[in-house]
Structure 1
Amino acid sequence: MKQFLFFVTLLGLTSTINAQQQSMLLWYDHPAQFFEESLPMGNGKLGALIYGGTKNDTIYLNDITYWTGKPVNPNEGIGKSVWIPRIREALFAENYRLADSLQHYVQGEQSASYQPLGTFNLINLTPGAIQNYRRELNIDSAMAHVSYQQDGVTYKKEYFVSQSDSLIAIRITANKPGKVNFKISLTAQVPHKTKASDEQLTMIGHATGKENETIHACTIVRLTHKEGQDSHTDSTLTVENADEATLYIVNATSFNGFNKHPVDDGADYMNNAIDAAWHTKNFTYNEFKQRHINAYQRLYQRLNLQLGHDKYDNNIPTDELLKKYSTPHTPLSVAAQRYLETLYFQFGRYLLLSCSRTPGVPANLQGLWTPYLFSPWRGNYTMNINLEENYWPANSTNISETIQPLFSFLKGLAANGKYTAHNFYGVNEGWCASHNSDIWCKTAPVGEGKESPEWANWNLGGAWLVNTLWDYYLYTQDFQMLKSTIYPLMEGASRFCKQWLIENPKHPGELITAPSTTPENEYLTDKGYHGTTCYGGTADLAIIRELFENTQQARRILNIKPDKQLNNTLKRLHPYTIGAEGDLNEWYYDWKDYDPQHRHQSHLIGLYPGMHLQRHAIQTKDSSLLKAAKQTLIQKGDESTGWSTGWRINLWARLGEGKHAYEIYHRLLSYVSPEEYHGPDAVHRGGTYPNLFDAHPPFQIDGNFGGTAGVCEMLVQSTLEIVNNKPVYYIHLLPALPHVWKDGEIKGLKTRGGLTIDMQWYDHQVYALHIKADADVTINLHYNCKTDSVRRLKKGEKMFFRAIDGAL
């Protein structure tokens, strides 16, 4: 057995860990035919889907602020709270059928819909056969490229979407002079008008709905070219015999905030778009390109990952690589497997950087990419898992900036949620939010009196989502943000939950929720009734327990006197129970799930993304609840939708089950055919599409983010404990390392406590470790089956460990 010795040096030692990650590149030998083959690009507001056609290069355009609807009505649902006592009466009489029926009276309007901005067509006017086609997306630089040969000429197209300059740029070149010939048009699926002028297309339109009550947009395409001629019709531009050409696309909408009418009090979208178009003259194309790369890489390059030591030459198109990876017994080198796993991990970071940078408008179900007039589930914010999962990798992968849109979004939810609490639930303290939301920060339950209560009536979306901000504090140690924004939002959500809880008539002194649902799941009672509404659902109580414990921890850090009432409420919560089969009960009673392999596992929130199940096991030295959670996962099985598979990776990793976590990660990377492809070899299930988008199916981006977060959870876990009224962060290195990743390096991984981790491991053991503290912090480090003593690090202080062995 190898003997390792560890040395510690503080202050000023430079890490030698360099994590030589290969170039991260998606590439294909054919244009995209389907949405799930297109290349997604974005700057957090503007989005583009690159199809790369040789005859017609279609680019679907998106703007994350382009939605139907207008600000919510604070009077929505007034008087509906009268039904709550009647529902409770039915529940406690065990009349679940009546309770389900009455829930429809406590439903509101549906959420707004996210909509596509427009469709840009770049039509090639050069005849001739195509050879040597290649389309690629370099996620190291957020650049896309298309190249091919036609009639003896090599054509190249380059694309980027700049966050620093708020534009989409496209450059078309040929290796022979005078060979660039194309026509461009700009259209949309929503009401619009397009006008062409000298070297410019201008399109104005508005989202679906009444013209005077919905968001408007102005899109401008500006053309420049070298040599050749350009001309225009009413709505198209044509370039002939040019050496090269550049196109800039800018957009502005009238969205002016969640509580501002988009017409009466909307932003000046026309002048804002015109200003953005003028800005395209301020720099050369190469200057815009370099500014884009610099801004993107400043965040993206913070984290590098290398799994194994073998290099992969990336000589298989990405869709074929994915097929081979997910087909048993298909020969694929170990280097190719590790490359695809790393690529998928980094692709998740790329997507989050590309779709979550707009204040008040977080990433939606599709990130910001859709070619559809009405996306699945309206492309909205589904807050019973999906919006939360979008941000699981943000902190750990060192891009906490992407969480910023959630701060103002949650402020909007809190502002609207106080009306929902009163109107629908009769609660006059704090705020709540429900299953669905939209750009207008909708908090009321949806369903319009006809949808299933299992999702329409669930009201703990805000209570769950606010914990994302608490985690932001734990990772960044941003004390001022905790004090000014995060804690007030947590405290408001807690006040609602305290009033929403009621005493359990079946067990006086105990507190439960009623009515209760567990997101999108259904039960079978011992009497054979198949329903959704219950009381004392485990998922409700898990969310509330996590919120209350986090709120108390925040109070200690802020030096606010502990809330005795909150402590008392915590102690009175109905406890977890274990079923006859050893699983963690999802319902108050040991009822069966109508679907035993259901995609949701909401009653395991306390295991992941929450912390309190693990904390309970440590504090009590009782692991029975963790064992029950594991049994629940075994019952659920491994086959599920994309986003649920992403969640299960993290759940198994949190349990320390690296082998199983990796098996689920491998399953997440199962090839799935585009939704509109129905050939004899079509595959439709949860997994990954050819462009690495997550397949729910259809596409939901949260599975991508869950997969990326799962890799982090296998490599490092971190928890906060309050010891002698002081915060101590427990850092566990390689807690769920799969055997196939026995060697590797990572540089730039973040942990709770504001630590940055650079780490090498060899034969499943930490070989070298560099830790940097971003704030004063007390840590307890666990590695190689050893526990380091509690130590205090000052802001900027560094620790470096190296294993010494003659064979290394």
Structure 2
Amino acid sequence: MKFQYVFLALAACLAEALPTFDGSRHVWFTFPGFFPTFESSFPIGNGRVAASIYGGASEVLGITENSIWTGPFQDRIASTALAAEPVVREMLLAGNLSEAREYAYEHMISNVTSPRSFSYFGNIGIDFGHAEEEMTDYVRWLDTREGMVGVEYVVDGVTYTREYIANYPSGVLAARFTASAGGELNMNISMTGLIKILSVTAAAAQDNNTLTLRGSSGQSVDPILWTGQARFVPDEGAVVGVSGTNLIITNASTVDMFFDAETSYRYASEAAWEAEMQRKIDAAFALGYDAVKSAAIADIIAFLGRVTLDLGTSPNGWAALPTDQRLAIARNTSEDVQLSTLVFNFGRHLLAASSRPSNDGTVALPANLQGIWNNSTSAPFGGKYTININIEMNYWPAGPTNMIETQLPLFDLIGVATPRGQSAAERMYGCPGTVFHHNLDLWGDPAPTDNFTQSTMWPFGSAWLAWHAIDHYRFTLDKTFLQEVAYPFLSEVATFYECYAFENDGHNVTGPSLSPENRFMVPLNESVPGASEAVDIAPAMDGQLMTEIFQGFLEAASLLGIPDSDPAVAAARTFLPTIKPQQIGSLGQILEWRVEYTELVPGQKHLSPLWALMPGRAFFSPHQQHALRCGTGAARSACVAWLGDHWLEPHLADLPVR
């Protein structure tokens, strides 16, 4: 316990110098982030444009815009896939597991193995003329309630502050830089990046001091192009000039910044996207920083404030410590309950910052593997939309914590991907309907990705996203969404699996497919004995997904008044009971594969055969399923009231908490 008392003593020494922080709300440190390690930065975003803020003596703002990816659409459907699929299936049925996987990966997967990758805009660098060793009383913080980042420190008796905000209604990022003494704020501002920069220009003019960067994803044909501009507004008495491509501001006390970036993904011409960029920046400038900040905070408080979590008060004054010290304590104890609340609030901040529906009529993009933040031309794992769990996990808090609108960009992407998936279904499997494998990019590329043994050959990403569509309706009770988005997509997905599945031992099963991210040891009576493989027929998760998708489709049809005589409804009703049920193994476990193979990695973290428990519903009783479908928000009270009248009251003790 000695180290805890040291932390408390340090906190007491700093108490008078530092702002007051709420241990359930603020992430804060007494040292800057470590550029370019963007995980050490503080993230803000308005769902489309975002910044990673490091807070160093020389500030770096790593800027991203969610449609800046590495290039144009690629048609990656292998021309040999359709002919190869029945060959692979026969190999699997014959027990030639290794040969089947090798044949599938040679003939069903394109030589271009990866879709496009999430990239970034570049960096805004601001040199204040300060050195790290000169800074005292340093603190930086992220307010998870207001979505703001702040930095404060002292140099030579002058207190310097920075605050950053992402405004969703206006579509801009904004910042304010101040010095407590008049004329002591100096800024040498640049725009740089590892991406292909076409031009950087600096301009100094009355009320229009700007840095503008034009960039390209770099492909020779149809690259993604973008323009971003930061306008700086100093107070009276400041001197503004240009040095090469840098903007120089001297003798200021306060400087405000407004930033936007727009791309060719959403606009057909440079003139169009730059006009939109200019419109947003001009509107923010006309409002002024205080109004932009107030509007941003009002918006996000109204949004995030729908849910609060109170787990109690942490002991030993831990909640008053800087976050890094609390994390050190948490390695040895879980008693810092306010840290758990802070993590909850931080997660909701990230989702709101990286996924908001479009408010300007353009296509929105969902949170990707990086959320919306990145500092390189190609993010880890490409920053893709990995839909064998990762992107779905992004959205698990959307309904239960009353942020359901954050999920709408996911359906925008599904709308882009569905026609691509129709082409993949026909050309790879000879089937109608639509299919996505385990990744998408911003173009909706649905093809198998990465030639990776335990993930690539999995045609069920579309099924999991279809589950999100019906679940979205269950939370919102939005009949328009059900009719225009969820039902058509469920219909497309169900149509594909009715064709793709085949009869084996009296049930409809799938294959070639796999149990995401896991491998098994090939038995001695099959080939190659002892090899680790993943591709097979009838993985448990496939059947679970199909069951819930067909149930969801029939539920949607009933809610929309579509009769059982409708051909699609009749086909789904016939198909549903033919899906292979769950199998139980020798240890009482749900079998992950069609037989009790030995797992290569027992307890693999994806826990794919438990999909039906979470996020699925199959392991709940019928009345529990109905209660879960009440969701949250305004519609929940009416739903629960109806349930209470019909069957809820006798089962209150059985209801799960959501």
In the alignment, which residue of structure 2 is the partner of 1:153?
Answer: 158
Change (3 A) 1:754 1:785: closer
- Matched position secondary structure for 1:565: helix
Deviation at 1:783, TM superposition (A): 10
- Matched position secondary structure for 1:454: coil
Distance 1:76 1:232 in 2: 50
In the alignment, which residue of structure 1 is the partner of 2:518?
Answer: 521
2:313 and 2:337 in contact (8 A); partners too: no
In the alignment, which residue of structure 1 is the partner of 2:223?
Answer: 214
Distance 1:126 1:577 in 2: 66
Counterpart of 1:166, as a letter, is G
In the alignment, which residue of structure 1 is the partner of 2:272?
Answer: 268
Distance 1:480 1:396 in 2: 21
Distance 1:390 1:460 in 2: 18
1:700-759: CA deviation from partner (whole Å, max 9, x where unpaired)? xxxxxxxxxxxxxxxxxx954xxxxxxxx326xxxxxxxxxxxxxxxxxxx7255559xx
Change (3 A) 1:347 1:247: same
Change (3 A) 1:146 1:83: same
1:754 and 1:774 in contact (8 A); partners too: no
Distance 2:619 2:500 in 1: 23
Scaled by the length of structure 1, the TM-score of the pair is 0.72
Change (3 A) 1:400 1:416: same
- 1:250 and 2:260 aligned: yes
Change (3 A) 1:603 1:500: same
- Equivalent residue in structure 2 for 1:551, among 548, 553, 556: 553
Distance 1:474 1:206 in 2: 41
Distance 1:596 1:283 in 2: 58
Distance 1:387 1:491 in 2: 22
Structure 2: segments with no counterpart, 5+ residues: 1-21, 525-529
In the alignment, which residue of structure 1 is the partner of 2:612?
Answer: 606
Distance 1:99 1:787 in 2: 46
In the alignment, which residue of structure 2 is the partner of 1:581?
Answer: 587
Deviation at 1:598, TM superposition (A): 1.6
- Matched position secondary structure for 2:125: strand
1:251 and 1:276 in contact (8 A); partners too: no
- 1:752 and 2:630 aligned: yes
Distance 1:571 1:531 in 2: 30
2:43 and 2:53 in contact (8 A); partners too: yes
Change (3 A) 1:786 1:452: closer
2:97 and 2:522 in contact (8 A); partners too: no
- 1:446 and 2:311 aligned: no
Distance 1:566 1:482 in 2: 17
In the alignment, which residue of structure 1 is the partner of 2:9?
Answer: none
1:526-569: CA deviation from partner (whole Å, max 9, x where unpaired)? 21332121111111111111111111222222222243432332
1:148-169: CA deviation from partner (whole Å, max 9, x where unpaired)? 1110111111111111111111
In the alignment, which residue of structure 2 is the partner of 1:319?
Answer: 324
Matched length: 605
Distance 1:535 1:159 in 2: 52
Deviation at 1:781, TM superposition (A): 4.8
Change (3 A) 1:134 1:408: same
Distance 1:129 1:399 in 2: 43
**More helix by percentage:** 2
Deviation at 1:425, TM superposition (A): 1.1
- 1:289 and 2:329 aligned: no
Change (3 A) 1:478 1:266: farther
Change (3 A) 1:250 1:568: same
- 1:387 and 2:252 aligned: no
Distance 1:405 1:436 in 2: 16
Please say which of residues 358-367 and 437-446 is displaced more in the overlay.
358-367
1:114-167: CA deviation from partner (whole Å, max 9, x where unpaired)? 001111111112567211001001111111110011101111111111111111
Deviation at 1:499, TM superposition (A): 0.5
1:111 and 1:438 in contact (8 A); partners too: yes
1:255 and 1:266 in contact (8 A); partners too: no
Mapping 1:688-699, distance limit 5 Å: none
Counterpart of 1:47, as a letter, is A
Change (3 A) 1:190 1:755: closer
1:453 and 1:517 in contact (8 A); partners too: no
Distance 1:783 1:234 in 2: 76
Counterpart of 1:385, as a letter, is I
1:503 and 1:512 in contact (8 A); partners too: yes
1:477 and 1:775 in contact (8 A); partners too: no
Scaled by the length of structure 2, the TM-score of the pair is 0.87
In the alignment, which residue of structure 2 is the partner of 1:460?
Answer: 460
- 1:190 and 2:195 aligned: yes
In the alignment, which residue of structure 2 is the partner of 1:340?
Answer: 339
CA RMSD, Structure 1 to Structure 2 (Å): 2.3
2:233 and 2:256 in contact (8 A); partners too: yes
Change (3 A) 1:341 1:784: farther
1:470 and 1:482 in contact (8 A); partners too: yes
Distance 2:554 2:453 in 1: 31
Deviation at 1:60, TM superposition (A): 0.4
- Matched position secondary structure for 1:600: coil
Counterpart of 1:339, as a letter, is Q
Change (3 A) 1:280 1:755: closer
2:544 and 2:611 in contact (8 A); partners too: yes
1:753 and 1:777 in contact (8 A); partners too: no
Please say which of residues 344-353 and 272-281 is displaced more in the overlay.
272-281
1:754 and 1:775 in contact (8 A); partners too: no
1:477 and 1:753 in contact (8 A); partners too: no
Deviation at 1:289, TM superposition (A): 0.8
2:457 and 2:535 in contact (8 A); partners too: no
Distance 2:85 2:129 in 1: 65
- Matched position secondary structure for 1:48: strand
**Identical pairs, percent:** 28
**More strand by percentage:** 1
Distance 2:498 2:619 in 1: 21
Deviation at 1:246, TM superposition (A): 1.1
Distance 1:176 1:271 in 2: 38
- Matched position secondary structure for 2:149: strand
1:538 and 1:576 in contact (8 A); partners too: yes
Counterpart of 1:39, as a letter, is F
2:627 and 2:640 in contact (8 A); partners too: no
In the alignment, which residue of structure 2 is the partner of 1:112?
Answer: 116
Distance 1:755 1:356 in 2: 19
- Matched position secondary structure for 1:544: helix
1:244-266: CA deviation from partner (whole Å, max 9, x where unpaired)? 1112221111112xxxxx87x78
Counterpart of 1:120, as a letter, is I
- Matched position secondary structure for 2:583: coil
